[in-house]
A and B are shown apart, each in its own frame.
Chain A
Amino acid sequence: MRMISLLAKSRLRHYRSRTALTMSAVFLASLMLQGIFVSALGVLDANKQMIQEGDWHVRLSGLTWEQMEMLRGHLEVETLTFTVTAGEVEYGRLNGYLTWSENVRDDRTDSVRAADAPDSEDTGVSSFVEGRLPRTADEISGPADFFERLGAEAEIGAQVTVPFRANGADGLGRIQERTFTICGLEPSIDVEELGIAETRVAYGAEVSEAFVREILPEQEILYTASVRLCGEEESGYEEMVERIKALAETLGVSKDDMFINESYLYMTLTPPMDAIMVVAFLALLVVVFSMMIIYSIYYVNIISDIQEIGRLKMLGASDRQIRVLFLREGSFTSLIAVPAGILAGTLIPCFALPSILDWVMQYNVISGAELDRPDMFSAPLTLFAAAVMFLAVFLALRKPVRIAAEVSPVTAVRFEETGGTKKNRRGFSQMSTGRLCLANLSRSRRRTLVTLMAMGLSFSLFMGMAGVLSSITPQDMADRKLNGAQFRIALDYEIVDRVYPENSLNHVQMQRLLGKDTVSQIEAMDGVEQVRKIGFMLARVEDAPEGNDLYYDGDTARVGWFRKDQMELFGEDLYLGDPDYDKMAAENGVILMGGEYMYQRAELPIGSTVHLTFYDGNREIPFTGKIMACADYGDAPDGQFLITEDTFRRLNVETDPTTSLFVDLKGSKLEPGYERRYEEIKEKLSALVGQQERLYLVSLDEELYISDMSVAVIRYPCYALLALIVFISLFSMINTMAVSITARKRELGMLQAVGLSQRQLVRMLSGEGIFYAVGALAIAFTVGNGLGLRLFRWAEENGFMSVSAYHYPFAETAALCAVMLVIQLVIVLVVKKNVKKESLTDRIRSGE
């Protein structure tokens, strides 16, 4: 067997380019597989970090001091931190809170604590750039830009006046002001760099216990406790949830005040099945495609080696030795290519992923959290990836090796590749270069088919995925939020505000801020095409089920309306009933929204009567309607109940129900001057909105910027993977072409001897390349695009990345065609070089 190993090595060296090609294919496949595993581990770990706002198990809110004391001494509790949201900042559009947090108890060992939550925000220990937490009533700490936006100097010792509303047991209190001394500075959130409006940022500033006790009486201080129970490691998900519920019950905390950190528990205590499924699917895809391509490469190579195999057999090599020879070659190739691929597949994501995640995290404005370097390496998974790749190479080799071993020496030596046992060929009565090319392709139909299918299927996968990926567009996501408009002006309101009723929607609607005046002001702006309105009213649902969580405050619902021409918007979203507009208009028909969930809980079956009382400013309008259908939320207008526009008119409401205005601009963005016009209008709208504290502006460019990031995170890794699959499949074609040229060296010389010119030779060989390219592209554009449509429908139905419109992947189609074109040009160049390298007489003699 030593001889066989020597022979295998010398063959690998002799067929250097072919060895390099096979090795590259195995290397890339290993890289992809390990890359998927490593990236998945990294993303899962990062998700874990992002999702877990801490490693607490349950957050209990609305706790009194007594309940806190019970918790403090409870045997089940491992860690306990609390936060009191003492007040909400009331300063223009600034979104901020005053909180007092404290780490009460932590029974974990230091090492566990450090490993579990090195920077946990919930321990009450903020990450300071400078300074410390407040100790006295007039001290405050927070992000520097929070203080700057309040008009203060962001430095330790500076004074800042904060207008706020104390957060008592009965909701927000009256606005009051307090001047604090800044004692700690946290990192700023760079709004300009993110390119988003300031109003989207929520600031949290820390105050002291003394301050909280000053502004709130003892009985009104409501604690929100974040609790971690003992023995997480020994418990399953279900068990933990049961223990949490039991704890809440002991304390007398209602279900509404208990928030179980399900995402953390789920992540920690159950295997992440969805993620495992996705990773397993991708890994399987890579393995199957790699096997197919490695198989096609080996198959083609072994066919071209048949004569050599025959010679070996004539010299006495047994079937087993031939099998071992090829398996050794495969092993030697894999022994280098698999570990190299695994190493590259570990290193590339290890370096690239943290940067990508950092880039993603800078947009995570609300949490402002920073990620630690995700844990990405798993030795068992790495070994598994390597084992899978070795197995894949072995399986891909099995059939070609069997063919090689079974071939009889006489057949092998005489072997001329003509299509197996065929004796005759119908043929053509006249010959041309094209026909010569066809004759060559059909001489080994199986080889041609294997190559074509390997390429065609991987191209189909590319086009299929591209169909979905190209349909995930920032434009669509932004359009969905902006209803296809360029700007949205929306009301800033609370659904119900007990202390300041003027904040409640029905009161804000009384001001008619988005009424005719505003609309005509916007319509008068140069470049505005139209202004569209949407809105809803609030209504009290009489006889709402006791203790339900369906409506605001248990009984206040959003009621919207629709026009006759909007009936089709319900489409497939209808869950029950078949509403008719005219009938609904005549009989005060109501569509209950929210699908099955709402239908099961609202106690309003089809045909039942619903009593609503509309809040029209200070007026109340009673309404009795009949439930005629139930539908899921989809493209229909907003509202938990929908009535017809005719019914709505009959209510004769006095307030303006509009909650948002959508502003469409004239012309297309491709027109010259569009951008300038857009900016001008944005400026005017900002000025308009600036006059009214209760309005805010959302613009398309801002939305696009945000959507762009979420799309990029999904799209680019997928394309990188697909590009690699396509790349590997090209190896299959290059190998087939290379074998086709080298194995027919004498034959090509012969053709030249009988008059085939060099131009004709190049044309003939590139014709074979074109056949593979066109064939693979044809498969890709039929099977692949069909797959793309199906995947798109699946994504649409499952709400994946808000895809709503199918976009044909033109850019990807062009890219694939361009790649094929480049490959063709390379083939022509290589063929020309190859032809020139050896003299015609040498080629004719080579087989003799």
Chain B
Amino acid sequence: MDTILETKDLCRYYGADPQLVKAVDHVSIRIEQGEFVTVVGKSGSGKSTLLHLLGGLDYPTSGEILMEGRNIAAYGREEMAAYRRRKIGFVFQAYNLIPSLNVWENVVLPIGLDGRKADEAYVEEILCAIGMEKKKRSLPNTLSGGQQQRCAIARALAAKPAIILADEPTGNLDSRTGDEVMSLLKTTAKKYGQTLVVITHNEEIAQTADRTLTIEDGKVVV
């Protein structure tokens, strides 16, 4: 398998001595194309910071993040925004849909922001796959938590990104809905050949992954 994402000596520190917080500390990992990786760890261990760094939401203090061989840590703000649009699909715990846009608009938004036209047939297909084809025109506040998260998954898939990064995607859902969403995420990622990195506290989810990375105090221990 080809390596799609790799970090080398990645560090993200906050503050200064004596209150220096090492959120991510010399992390070197590799994620292969099409792999399903889960990241586990206690609260405050640095899971989300690592995910934010991988997704280009934040800049590292030092180290490299190589996406298909290119170091995104050296990107400017505009380049970084383009990177997020084209290469990354985010799924957050709090769904983070845009309240003023309907389901369809939320899904095609990253493509529109990239100045491209959405492949409508493909979007329709995704919406069918996640069972939201009848809710295209609904506004987010009229949807249940599970429906909102499914919509967020569709948005993450629509731009055909290289990697989907999900930060506790089932954290706000009951266990049955959570299972549904997780299985949907896995099957769609597989179907569209995307790499999936999921942060989770859920042991069951971690067990279904190809590989699990455990983080403690900012360091990958396994």
Contacts and interface: CB of A to CB of B under 8 A. Distances in A.
Contact of A414 (B82, B104, B115, B141): B141
Contacts of B159: 755
B110 A427 contact: no
A423 interface: yes
A760 B108 contact: no
Contacts, number: 132
Q: How large is the interface on B (under 10, 10 to 19, 20 to 34, 35 or more residues)?
A: 35 or more
Interface stretch (A1-9, A220-228, A590-598, A746-754): A746-754
A364 B53 CA distance: 78
A634 B120 CA distance: 72
B165 to A, nearest CB: 10
B139 A423 contact: yes
B105 to A, nearest CB: 5
A572 interface: no
Interface string B109-125: 11111110110100000
Contacts of A758: 77-78, 81
A544 B157 CA distance: 101
Interface string A741-775: 00000110011111111111000000000000000
A431 B159 CA distance: 13
Contacts of A760: 81, 113
B78 A746 contact: no
Contacts of A432: 112-113, 115
B137 interface: yes
Interface in B101-158: 101-102, 104-105, 108-115, 117-118, 120, 137-142, 155
Contact of A757 (B55, B57, B78, B92): B78
A431 B105 CA distance: 7
Contacts of A424: 102, 137-139, 142
B100 A431 contact: no
B81 A431 contact: no
B94 interface: yes
A442 B105 CA distance: 14
A558 to B, nearest CB: 74
Given A755-B81, A755-B82, A755-B85, A747 B98 contact: yes
B90 interface: yes
A427 B102 contact: yes
B186 interface: no
A429 B108 contact: yes
B96 interface: yes
Contacts of B105: 425, 427-428, 431, 435, 439
Contact of A753 (B82, B84, B86, B108): B84
A423 B78 CA distance: 35
Interface in A63-79: none
B100 A442 contact: yes
A427 B104 contact: yes
A307 to B, nearest CB: 12
Contact of A425 (B78, B92, B102): B102
A418 B141 contact: yes
A440 B100 contact: yes
Nearest to B101: A439
Contacts of B111: 430-431
Interface in B175-207: none
Interface string A341-352: 000000000000
Contacts of A429: 104, 108, 118, 120
A423 B98 contact: no
A753 B96 contact: yes
A843 to B, nearest CB: 10
A754 B93 contact: no
B212 to A, nearest CB: 24
Interface of B: 49, 52, 55, 57-58, 77-78, 81-82, 84-86, 90, 92-94, 96-102, 104-105, 108-115, 117-118, 120, 137-142, 155, 159
